[in-house]
Structure 1
Amino acid sequence: MSVINLEYLFKPRSVAVIGATNDPRNAGNIVMRNIMAGGFLGPVMPVSSQAEAIAGVLTYPSVRHLPKTPDLAVVCSPLDEVPEVIHSLKERGTKAAVLMGAGFASMTAEESQDIRSTILSIANPPDIRILGPKSLGFMVPSLNLNASLAHARVEPGKVAFISQSDSLFATVLDWAIDKGVGFSHMVALGSRIDVTFADILDYLGSDPLTRSIMLYVESIKDAREFMSAARAASRNKPVLVIRPGHALDSVLAGSRRRAAWGYSMDEVYDVAFRRAGMLRVEDIDGLFDAAQTLSAPRQVYDRKLAILTNGTSAGILAADRLMVGGGELAPLDEDTIKSIDKVLGEENWSRANPVDIPFNADGKAYSDVLKLLLKDKNSNGILAMHVPWTAQPDVEVAEAIRDALKRVKRMVLTAWLGSGKAGQAREVFRNAGVPTYETPTQAVQAFLYMAEYLHNQEMLIETPDSLPTDFFPDTAGARNIVRNALDQGRDALTEPEAKDILAAYGIPVVETRIAVSAKEAVIAADELGYPVALKLRSPQIPQPFDVGGVLLDLETPERVWEGAASILARCTRERPDAYIEGFTVQKMGRRPGAHELSVSAHLDPVFGPVLLFGHGGMAREMIRDQALTLPPLSMSLAKELVSRTRISTLLRGTPSHLAADIDDICLTLIQISQLIVDVPQITSIDINPLYADPEGVLALDAKIDLAPFEGEGESRLAIRPYPRELEECVTLKKGRQVTLRPIRPEDEDTHRAFLANLSDEDLRLRFFGVVQREFDHKDIARFTQIDYDREMAFIATALDERGDPETLGVMRTNTRPDNSEAEFAIVVRSDQKGEGLGSMLFYKGIRYTRDRGTAKLTGQTMVENKAMQGLAKKFGFVITPDPDDPDLVDMVLDLEKAEG
């Protein structure tokens, strides 16, 4: 929903415990004791009609008897009493409540839903934010607040943990206490009738006390909200996630669904996590190992690792784990080998990676070799390992490595094996901020996690290749085909209809005809031209190959006639129950040496449309070489999807086969992605096989299923696509034609040029001070790669004298998650002022925010920027001095009262 009133949940100044009791087994007693033992500094007010004092604190008989309105209420009353409690809290003005009371287990599904609806209708979030029901509670150690049923407390730290599971909450708590790990927040979500993952991600994404966020996820309710919040949070700080995976899917989805669609829900979650820039880990150890590594100031950009060790077997174990995990042993530069020879002697080390040095190497030897490895550019990271030996100075070696790493920017991880002094050595590294681990496996996995995380981050901000400018699909034609089929009561298109739709979206297809008899099959073959393929059509036989219902390379009318008769005879003999609709006649698509691929799209119950790509043909189900992704797609994302399949290696070419046209394959994926947005009545598409070779692609077979759908197609997507409907053309005062449209990732180069062309004064007024003129890729990516649900940037673009596109101005809005307010910023190139462009951009931004139901549009500008203030007044903004900064003024427009 939003972050509104979440500060009352996670930063309360006063707490009431409703349903407090002296029964030590009751939630009301446990949470009361935990709050008091934690040392929370604000008032704690237990509400109970059964005891005068609980945990040493005098009680109050009801909510209305409380001496002050609590910011937070921890409700431990039975669930059937909660509606009345929430009503009383709302009358007092309480803004947040945690529901811990029992009662769900004894309720039927209908009763459970009724009580949830009743609670929500009374609380009316965000008037009162509800965590739970069935929540174990939460902790904010920096406030000494333990409003949970947990059996222990943790120390303050920079990591937040949000769990959908009470048992995982307790497990992570124990793990953290044992490892000495602190938290900024620990939250058990419970049944999530109000506060969700998305809400807390939004809250923690801007929390200065939280450096990284860890999630335990089993299911997501609103994919669009989750993806939007996760993408925003992961741009600011690492977000790590655990999900049980296939075992959970077998419980939630059932084996029938997995068999039918060819993928499990877990694979969809996996790709969603990656698209959001998050890192998925396998277990609790992985969560904290990855969090430790990602919090290090150094980063890795590929998977090449150098390993330094004084134990041969330990080095081999680390190298094996690295290669199994998809990493590489970095080759040593020849100069590096010669330099280490001088330090250790040729005979005293492995002269390869892993760098195996003498078992009794002292701190100076470790330090000298490490410094040489740091100079070698072939590796992206270094793992320094130490195996304990008798009388070996573990701590001294650790201190030498620590000193060698001062002011070093390369990623170095350490693994000190053993206990005792090895533990002291690890403490040396922890105090110095050097990632350290107990085993080679942990260290290598942490390195691989960092590489994976940074790959996901790069995908999040990568500039896509430009889409073809000549891609103009016949959307109206495709919609007409679908509408006609639905009007006839059909839930699937015929193969020719399916291919007509593909052709309307620019995908090459093999010509196909439908015939209801052998005679019509011959006529169709004559029209198409020989040779042809003949295939049986029967709703009971989805795969005609299974009954010999496919004949290829029929070169004469006689062969077609005889083939149809033989197919009918075989089918009647083997499947007498099947209804025969007729035949599909298809012109033979001759592409010798072409790869057989498949492209399909289906609806996932959580994330909406999902695209699959991989090996095609008859063996698709056995080979199971498929990868999936979420639309919308760019060329970069399509290429990344292709790269995750095994067949991608063959597509790049072999000694006996030329490389396939990868760009054409990716364009096909983008076309399908756009099709399922434009025609939301399509529930599934299956193209198999799709031939691919150096000449491009050719679809041989296609199936499309349908269902009625009302609304916009983009509403089905977990990630909002580029809003093409917001594009418009305008004419400036001097007659120049300009397009006003949302910004796209592909605009990076022109936007960089736009910023470079702004005058120093433009930049100073836009950014409220002197700023550097050099914007790197990450900066520009933040400007051009936006979440169209929360952010909007309208650019004014036109062609320059050379016919190249250029950006003339931009209007940005950033909307709060609850849509209550949007903040704007606008800048126009100096040489374009006086053309009316600023007013056009401003008006477009106002219309957009008003149309999406935003309540207020706000902005700030410098007192001296009279032009901006004049423009704002023109559109009805109220301008007042900023109370916190005399150099600024605030501009506010009530969009509900603004004129159209």
Structure 2
Amino acid sequence: MSPVKLEQMFKPTSVAVIGATDEPGDPGNTILKNLLGGKFLGPVLPVNPDVDSVMGMPSYSAIDTLPLTPDLAILCSPPETIPYYIEELGKRGTQHAVIMSRGYFRFNRDKLEVQKKALLSVARKFNVRVLGPNCLGYINPSVGINASLASRDALPGKVAFVTQSDSLFTTVLDWAASKNIGFSHFISLGDRYDIHFEDVLNYLNNDFSTRAILLYIETIENARQFLSAVRALARNKPVLVIKAGRSEAGAAAAAAHSGMLLGSDDVYDTAFRRAGMLRVFDIDTLFDTVETIALARPLKGERLAIITNGGGPGFLATDMLLEGGGRLADISDTTCQALDDELGNAWSYWNPLILKSDADGEMYAATIRQLLLDSEVDALLIMHVPTTGTDSAAIAEHVIKACKKTKKLVLTSWMGIDDAEEARKRFTGAGFPSFFTPDKAVRAFLNLVQYRRNQEMLVEAPASLPDDYHPDTFMVRNIIVEALEDKRQMLTEQEARAILTAYGIPIVETRTTTTADEAADAAEAIGFPVALKVISPDIYRKSLAGGVALDLETRDQVQAAVHTVTNRVRQNQPDARISGYSIQRMSRRARARELAVETATDPVFGPIIRFGQGGSLASITHDRQTALPPLNMSLANELISRTKIVTLLRGNRDIPAANLDAVRSTLVKISQLIIDIPEIFELEIDPLFADEEGVVALDANIRVAWSTSSGTDQLAIRPYPKELEECVQLRNGAKVDLRPIRPEDEPDHWDFLEHMSPEDKRFRFFGNVATLPRSEMIKLTQIDYDREMAFIAKGEAPDGSYKTLGVARAMIQPDNSSAEFAVAVRSDLKRLGLGRLLMEKIIRYLQLRKTRQITGAALSDNKNMIELARNLGFDVTKDLDDDVHHFEMTMEEEA
């Protein structure tokens, strides 16, 4: 939904409390006390048909007797009365309600669905948005409102906390008060009948009082909407999350408690990472990390230098850094020489840099100055152990002065109680995160490293089809439709092999036979040694059923193996049908690593890809990592880098590195396969051999089922929409390609802006713009196709090169109610009709996605844009206060 529409929910000017009462402990009493006892200045209107007054205030008997239409209604009456009150509020014009009534079912699914349907049907009829039920409400200190059942108020601050748990609502509120931590919002979502995480996140993205967002999640419902909202938010503000259900038992309990589908925790973890969020695992770390992100300089690299006057804490910090996947900086020879000149022999000559125990402030400052000049160092952790005769606060002042102008990340850990307290306060005041213990500091650094990596993943918007890749999708679809029409879920080995070949994935030569003699003939034709595998529509893992024989060297061995595997299968799976035998040449790639690629369908996030160790070692190493499609080469590389087997893939002095491009390409091709063919709900290649020559699949299993949605619709993240590409012709006869923008268009987009005149830039950006920061260019070229669209025109520029010639952009409200457009064309390519073509393209697209309204604006001296808007059918109006014309077009709904 539009974030603007939640403004009145969380920033109301008047509130009605339905079910208000004088009875202590009743929600209607508690909420009224919290509203009246806080700093909320608007009118609070009790509604209770059974009493004349509540807490000394007049009580209104019905909604239509209220003296004004409240922005917000808080409902504390019995559940069976809620639909009636929602209808009355909707008729009166109130569009926001919080349900705090007791008695809403959570564990009885049948009764829950009845209650939910009754409530939502009337709420949607009258456009009333509902928070809850089974929630504790919310607190917004910025407007002084405590619309919650909590026993205390929240302190004002810049952090929003959004929770699915009532108990955590009160726990974190108490915890934060004890540590003097404030909030911009404190929101309990409850059972999320109507308002979900994504609705609140869209609102918070536009809330200027919120600098960071903390989430407690048990389950989510619409993965695509959630990830779209988080990805948009995480570009602007840090988002940290605690997710319940890391263990299987905990996940099942969380799902049962929330009444939602149970998704895999590793898939949630992958989704959080892909969305640019940072996952932490306890409340203490949550607030430590958000404070660090808020205070610290952005982390530009991952190489940490540690400075301390105590060896033990330095060594422990180093161990924790390396065990957590961090990197210790290699101090350059130049820096070592400079430190020698400054410190003599009073330091340890390696990282961590151990200074003498009574090191003073000047020694710390000298060391810091040299390390900050070292290009091999990205960040500093500066530690101090209390020592008799040293002044911790004075040393801290020297550190602050030495670090004041640096752009590198600086963390501090001043150990001790009373002696170090003043130093920690000074660091925090100067904008340098300070920690009581080294392990907390290192943990915060590792979280920043992971946050940085997640932010890098966030700006990956992979194409759904590599430009030079053209698989035979038609043939694959025919294979699968034929199998499904035969009522088979499991594809045959021949079919699976044909599908991999169609998508360019190498697979070993295989021949299919039905008798022992045919098998022996095939083996002789292929060449010994061979592997023999039983073919059965009822067996998914042939080796577990005893249906595999390896290293067969002669014709007689092959014939004997046919009888052996047949007997083993009949013993292990008596009902399995055996339709034949496949013969494969044994792949003699002595230096090949055995990998595995598998796909599955998560109940929450849809299609997923897992990658890691394959073959016989897979059950021992448990080395599988998860990714969300679509993948590009960069995202495939990130997936590979998280596995243990990546070390073997990179090779060593005895074994050359595997062809990682071939491994990455295979993952991208598998990603494309499950996008193109949504009927594939399970696929496994195990083993996939990889060496310096490339990759080859030895075996593949594929399960299929009819699908009612496209592969793109099933994905949690929408891929590049290649289907929107087209070629058009300009007035001068030149042809240009119109297509959605892609991340790799960034270099051409800089060139495009360079070829816009200062006046055209002023028209586009409503002000004088010399150049854009790269962060803004990333936002322009790396977009979320679910909530914005940019079409670029690519064609021949005046210098003969193939360049970006123009762009039309639409920023779409999350509820698809409206979109705001902007269009720009190279200044040396005016009057060729390109601007009109781009605008017509964006209008057609918005009509296709059923956006209800298109809006735009232009400076009044931008006559060409104003005339184009009129010609395209926009209503054009002049703003009397600003020198701006506004455009509006309401889309016609299909009959």
Partner of 2:92: 92
Contact 1:462 1:781 in 2 (8 A): no
SS of equivalent residue, structure 1 residue 708: coil
SS of equivalent residue, structure 2 residue 615: coil
**Aligned counterpart in structure 2 of residue 831 of structure 1, from 828, 833, 849:** 828
Would the alpha carbon gap of residues 713 and 421 (structure 1) be closer, same or farther in structure 2, given more than 3 Å must change? same
**Aligned counterpart in structure 1 of residue 750 of structure 2, from 729, 752, 769:** 752
State the AA in 2 paired with 1:815.
I
Q: Residue 30 of structure 1: CA displacement? A: 1.4
Would the alpha carbon gap of residues 364 and 728 (structure 1) be closer, same or farther in structure 2, given more than 3 Å must change? same
Deviates most, 799-808 or 597-606: 799-808
Partner of 2:549: 551
Would the alpha carbon gap of residues 414 and 872 (structure 1) be closer, same or farther in structure 2, given more than 3 Å must change? same
Q: Residue 865 of structure 1: CA displacement? A: 1.2
Residues 618-648 of structure 1 deviation map (CA, whole Å, 9 limit, x = unaligned): 3222222111100111111111111111111
SS of equivalent residue, structure 2 residue 731: coil
Q: Residue 719 of structure 1: CA displacement? A: 0.2
SS of equivalent residue, structure 2 residue 728: strand
SS of equivalent residue, structure 1 residue 614: strand
Q: Residue 244 of structure 1: CA displacement? A: 2.6
SS of equivalent residue, structure 1 residue 545: coil
Would the alpha carbon gap of residues 82 and 372 (structure 1) be closer, same or farther in structure 2, given more than 3 Å must change? same
Q: Residue 884 of structure 1: CA displacement? A: 4.3
Q: Distance in 2 between matches of 1:573 and 1:480?
A: 35
Q: Residue 485 of structure 1: CA displacement? A: 0.7
Q: Distance in 1 between matches of 2:42 and 2:463?
A: 55
Q: Residue 725 of structure 1: CA displacement? A: 1.0
Q: Distance in 2 between matches of 1:723 and 1:105?
A: 42
Q: Residue 247 of structure 1: CA displacement? A: 2.2
Q: Residue 178 of structure 1: CA displacement? A: 1.1
**Aligned counterpart in structure 1 of residue 783 of structure 2, from 786, 810, 813:** 786
Deviates most, 533-542 or 135-144: 533-542
Contact 1:426 1:437 in 2 (8 A): yes
SS of equivalent residue, structure 2 residue 616: coil
Q: Does 1:875 align with 2:872?
A: yes
Q: Does 1:820 align with 2:814?
A: no
Would the alpha carbon gap of residues 60 and 420 (structure 1) be closer, same or farther in structure 2, given more than 3 Å must change? farther
Would the alpha carbon gap of residues 366 and 526 (structure 1) be closer, same or farther in structure 2, given more than 3 Å must change? closer
Residues 845-866 of structure 1 deviation map (CA, whole Å, 9 limit, x = unaligned): 1000011110111111111111
Contact 1:464 1:746 in 2 (8 A): no
**Aligned counterpart in structure 2 of residue 457 of structure 1, from 455, 470, 488:** 455
Q: Residue 777 of structure 1: CA displacement? A: 4.0
Residues 74-126 of structure 1 deviation map (CA, whole Å, 9 limit, x = unaligned): 11122222112212211221111111111135873211111111111111188
**Aligned counterpart in structure 1 of residue 886 of structure 2, from 880, 885, 890:** 890
Q: Residue 189 of structure 1: CA displacement? A: 0.7
Contact 1:465 1:635 in 2 (8 A): no
State the AA in 2 paired with 1:835.
L
Alignment of 1:672-711 (within 5 A): 672-711=670-709
Q: Residue 6 of structure 1: CA displacement? A: 0.6
Q: Residue 840 of structure 1: CA displacement? A: 1.4
Q: Residue 335 of structure 1: CA displacement? A: 4.3
Q: Does 1:306 align with 2:298?
A: no
State the AA in 2 paired with 1:134.
N
Partner of 1:640: 638
Q: Distance in 2 between matches of 1:44 and 1:314?
A: 56
Q: Residue 799 of structure 1: CA displacement? A: 5.3
Q: Residue 377 of structure 1: CA displacement? A: 3.0
Q: Distance in 2 between matches of 1:155 and 1:247?
A: 34
Would the alpha carbon gap of residues 659 and 129 (structure 1) be closer, same or farther in structure 2, given more than 3 Å must change? same
Q: Which runs of 5+ in 1 are unaligned?
A: 256-262
Partner of 1:258: none
State the AA in 1 paired with 2:891.
L
SS of equivalent residue, structure 2 residue 683: strand
Q: Distance in 1 between matches of 2:398 and 2:355?
A: 16
Contact 1:21 1:50 in 2 (8 A): no
State the AA in 2 paired with 1:324.
E
Q: Distance in 2 between matches of 1:434 and 1:126?
A: 51
Partner of 1:9: 9
Q: Which runs of 5+ in 2 are unaligned?
A: 256-261
Q: Distance in 1 between matches of 2:348 and 2:51?
A: 74
Q: Distance in 2 between matches of 1:685 and 1:627?
A: 15
Partner of 1:728: 726
State the AA in 2 paired with 1:889.
H
**Aligned counterpart in structure 2 of residue 394 of structure 1, from 386, 392, 395:** 392
Would the alpha carbon gap of residues 48 and 392 (structure 1) be closer, same or farther in structure 2, given more than 3 Å must change? farther
Contact 1:596 1:689 in 2 (8 A): yes
Q: Distance in 1 between matches of 2:205 and 2:38?
A: 25
Alignment of 1:341-490 (within 5 A): 341=340, 343-346=342-345, 348-390=346-388, 392-461=390-459, 469-490=467-488
SS of equivalent residue, structure 1 residue 619: helix
Would the alpha carbon gap of residues 431 and 121 (structure 1) be closer, same or farther in structure 2, given more than 3 Å must change? same
**Aligned counterpart in structure 2 of residue 719 of structure 1, from 707, 717, 727:** 717
Partner of 1:66: 66
Residues 317-349 of structure 1 deviation map (CA, whole Å, 9 limit, x = unaligned): 222222221122323334444444555542x44
Would the alpha carbon gap of residues 748 and 106 (structure 1) be closer, same or farther in structure 2, given more than 3 Å must change? closer
Residues 353-408 of structure 1 deviation map (CA, whole Å, 9 limit, x = unaligned): 33333444444443343333333332221122233345643333333333433333
What's the % identity of the aligned pairs? Answer: 48
Q: Distance in 2 between matches of 1:515 and 1:652?
A: 39
Q: Does 1:20 align with 2:20?
A: yes
SS of equivalent residue, structure 1 residue 633: coil
Would the alpha carbon gap of residues 356 and 558 (structure 1) be closer, same or farther in structure 2, given more than 3 Å must change? closer
Residues 102-160 of structure 1 deviation map (CA, whole Å, 9 limit, x = unaligned): 11358732111111111111111882111100011111011111111112112111101
Q: Does 1:848 align with 2:884?
A: no
Deviates most, 496-505 or 421-430: 421-430
Contact 2:492 2:535 in 1 (8 A): no
SS of equivalent residue, structure 1 residue 236: coil
Would the alpha carbon gap of residues 397 and 110 (structure 1) be closer, same or farther in structure 2, given more than 3 Å must change? same
Deviates most, 514-523 or 790-799: 514-523
Partner of 2:863: 866
Q: Residue 48 of structure 1: CA displacement? A: 2.5
Cα root mean square deviation, aligned = 2.6
Q: What TM-score does the superposition give when structure 2 sets the normalisation length?
A: 0.94
Q: Does 1:144 align with 2:144?
A: yes
Partner of 2:175: 175
Would the alpha carbon gap of residues 319 and 35 (structure 1) be closer, same or farther in structure 2, given more than 3 Å must change? same
SS of equivalent residue, structure 2 residue 655: coil
Residues 535-569 of structure 1 deviation map (CA, whole Å, 9 limit, x = unaligned): 12345654333454322344655443332123223
Alignment of 1:641-656 (within 5 A): 641-656=639-654
**Aligned counterpart in structure 2 of residue 811 of structure 1, from 798, 808, 816:** 808
Q: Distance in 2 between matches of 1:795 and 1:106?
A: 49
Partner of 1:287: 286
Would the alpha carbon gap of residues 561 and 200 (structure 1) be closer, same or farther in structure 2, given more than 3 Å must change? same
SS of equivalent residue, structure 1 residue 124: helix
Q: What TM-score does the superposition give when structure 1 sets the normalisation length?
A: 0.94
SS of equivalent residue, structure 2 residue 295: coil
Deviates most, 653-662 or 162-171: 653-662
SS of equivalent residue, structure 2 residue 61: coil
Contact 1:495 1:512 in 2 (8 A): no
State the AA in 1 paired with 2:279.
R
Q: Distance in 2 between matches of 1:328 and 1:94?
A: 56
Q: Distance in 2 between matches of 1:801 and 1:472?
A: 32
Would the alpha carbon gap of residues 529 and 401 (structure 1) be closer, same or farther in structure 2, given more than 3 Å must change? closer
State the AA in 1 paired with 2:668.
I
**Aligned counterpart in structure 2 of residue 503 of structure 1, from 501, 504, 519:** 501
Q: Does 1:78 align with 2:74?
A: no
SS of equivalent residue, structure 2 residue 784: coil
State the AA in 2 paired with 1:112.
L
Q: Residue 804 of structure 1: CA displacement? A: 5.9
State the AA in 2 paired with 1:71.
D
Q: Distance in 1 between matches of 2:106 and 2:232?
A: 39
State the AA in 2 paired with 1:890.
H
Q: Does 1:332 align with 2:331?
A: yes
Contact 2:296 2:433 in 1 (8 A): no
Partner of 2:316: 317
Q: Residue 581 of structure 1: CA displacement? A: 3.4
State the AA in 2 paired with 1:33.
K
Q: Distance in 1 between matches of 2:66 and 2:95?
A: 15
